[in-house]
Amino acid sequence: MEQIKNSLFLISSLFFSIAFLAIGYGMMITFIGVYLKQMGASNLSIGLINSAFFLGAMASSIFSQKIISSIGHIRSFATFAALMVITFLLHSIFLNELFWGVLRLISGFAFYALLIILESWLNEKSSNEKRGEILAVYTIIFYLSTALGQLILSIPTASEYFIFTVGSVLVLLSLIFIAMTKIKEPILKPFGQYSFPKLYFIVPLALAGSFIGGFFVGGFFTMVPLYILNLFDSTQMLSIFMAVTILGGLVSQWPIGKLSDKYGRRKLIAFCGFFTAFVSFLFVILPHFEILYYILGVLLGVSIFAIYPLSLSRANDVLDENKDIVEISRALLFTYGLGSFVAPIVIGFGFKFINEDIIFLLFVVLGLFLALYSLSRQRIADDDMSVFVNVPVASGAVMPEFDPRQDEQWVEEHTKN
């Protein structure tokens, strides 16, 4: 335990940087849609603008590695942090929907590049026996910081200038910790290519779960705020709702992980699908009371944030040692990002041509599909199962390398426990 504490202290600058970035991430990803709604933008436009952020994220997973490798981690971090600050400040001085879409694209690219830099550093400084504990700390920090970012929106005097300024300050604070770090820069390995048709035949349930999990999480962060704001017309209520939902996701990770280790991923993915569908249906039919929506938010977070980690675990259960687990996990992460990208576009069209209940009706349909599809797949034998590992709500392309399940000895030790 003392050795783990010493390791965490040595990389504490990385954790502080992650915390400030995640606070800004949680605050901005919710506020953008809310502010555009208040300015009279259509739900379809808001969906398209929000989707640009995740398009930038997917582009970052493909192209940012070359930039980081060529100029180094610290210079890259300063470059991408500067890009984020520039986009935040430009948001505050010029309102144009097309321009904002470009800014969200750039900020998504920059934010996920920053995650790649931080995760590769954490990966470099984590030995096999400490990797699981460090990833757990990373996950807790990211969830708590993202939830804290939501609560900033409830400050009564939080105008758009205040939010964009605070977002810029948070990114700059994260840069200070990196600029002053004495941690040696790691070597970032090239990201390999992957074939999605081939991937579907290898891990079909993991692929479907990653996409639908991304759809749920992307829809939650970008379009659910519009739904809540339309019902209650209260930014304070919205910020609390978003925060408790994220905390529900954090609290559920460990019990769901333990249950999946015992009963299998297939059953737990099915449970999360059915549970998401049930809670989403309650959003549509129950009366609009604030306290009731807080409870529903916690319950929604319990399931939607667990689907992607369960899908990763399912992939690790299915794959044998001859398969490239890192590259397949990275493909699943890309699929998760693709789901997040598609969600605000589809939901935005639904808002425009049907009504705002469509968001939870889509959640019902996708939840039921995932549950039934999961139950139709083959069960994995107990002896072939890996170990569930918690992951942050947003991850860069290095996360698969950081996953402690890549070490067979670690898996064996934790399977026995």
User: For 284, how many CA atoms within 13 A lie in the half-sphere containing its CB?
Assistant: 16
Nearest to 217, CA basis, from 154, 272, 178? 272
- Mean pLDDT of the residues in the chain: 88
Q: pLDDT for 325-375, tens place per residue?
A: 778 888 899 999 999 999 999 999 999 999 999 999 999 999 999 999 999
Q: For residues 20 and 178, is the Cβ–Cβ distance under 8 A?
A: no
Q: Tell me the CA distances in angstroms from 262 to 78, 345, 408, one per residue in order.
A: 44, 37, 19
Confidence label for 322 from pLDDT (cuts 50, 70 and 90): very low
Nearest to 102, CA basis, from 33, 153, 55? 55
**Separation between Cα atoms, residue 99 and residue 82, nearest integer Å:** 18
Mean pLDDT score, 177-181:
83
Q: What domains lie within the chain, and their CATH numbers? A: 2-184+192-416 (1.20.1250.20)
Look at 4-13, 19-28, 145-154 and tell me which has the smallest mean pLDDT.
4-13
Look at 204-213, 302-311, 382-391 and tell me which has the smallest mean pLDDT.
382-391
Mean pLDDT score, 398-415:
73
Mean pLDDT score, 92-101:
91
Task: Return the percentage of the chain with pLDDT > 70, whole number.
Answer: 90
Predicted pLDDT at 375: 94
Predicted pLDDT at 323: 58
**DSSP labels, 71-128:** H-HHHHHHHHHHHHHHHHHHHHH---HHHHHHHHHHHHHHHHHHHHHHHHHHHHT--T
How does DSSP classify residue 26? Answer: H
Task: Return the percentage of the chain with pLDDT > 90, whole number.
Answer: 61
